[in-house]
Amino acid sequence: MYVRTILDEKGRNVVTGGPQLTVRQAAVYLHENHIGAIVIVDRNDRIAGILTERDIVAAIARSGGECLDKPISSIMWGNVHRCGENQTVEELMEMMSTLRARHIPVEKDGRLVGIISIGDVVKSHIRAIQHEAEAIKAYIAS
């Protein structure tokens, strides 16, 4: 299975923001959208960074509540690991495991086209196992 398949099933909508957002605004976006990461993009939809809930918690632990009024550019990850639609789910799982990343933006031709979370990968893996089990049952029954 490929990253493209997961995106086709779950959708390609990604909550994005610009680097001028405050940490407080980003926290509201995360909460309202029930997500764990916001991808920061420039005017051309190119990935400029990523901000996760863990980044916000770490910033509060380091600097206290005053960090909430700073721009997210002060705490976001600028060196964003990304994948392409043609990568396999196995390659993506290895990347997530090695990097200890829960969210990987997907890009095509240098532009953001989706995001894959660890939850998306787990759901995909479970579906594949269920499909395989059903195929084996059908084979045995025939």
Contacts of 31 (CB under 8 A, 6+ apart): none
DSSP state of 86: T
The domain of 31 spans 3-141
Q: Is the pLDDT of residue 106 over 90?
A: yes
Q: Judging by beta carbons within 10 Å of its beta carbon (0-12, 13-18, 19+), is residue 139 exposed, middle or buried? A: exposed
**Euclidean distance between CA atoms 51 and 106, whole angstroms:** 15
pLDDT at 73 over 80: yes
pLDDT tens string 48-69: 999 999 999 999 999 999 999 9
Q: For 85-102, how does the pLDDT look when each residue is reduced to its tens digit (9 = 90+)? A: 999 999 999 999 999 999
Q: Tell me the residue type at 65.
A: G
Q: Report the percent of the chain where pLDDT is more than 70.
A: 100
Instruction: Give SS3 for 47.
Output: strand
- Residue 125 pLDDT more than 80? yes
- pLDDT in the model for residue 60: 95
Q: How many structural domains is the chain composed of?
A: 1
Q: Say how many C-beta atoms besides its own lie within 10 A of residue 118's C-beta.
A: 16
pTM score above 0.85:
no
Question: For residue 58, what pLDDT is reported?
Answer: 94
How far out from the chain centre does Cα 58 lie? 19
**CATH code of residue 22:** 3.10.580.10
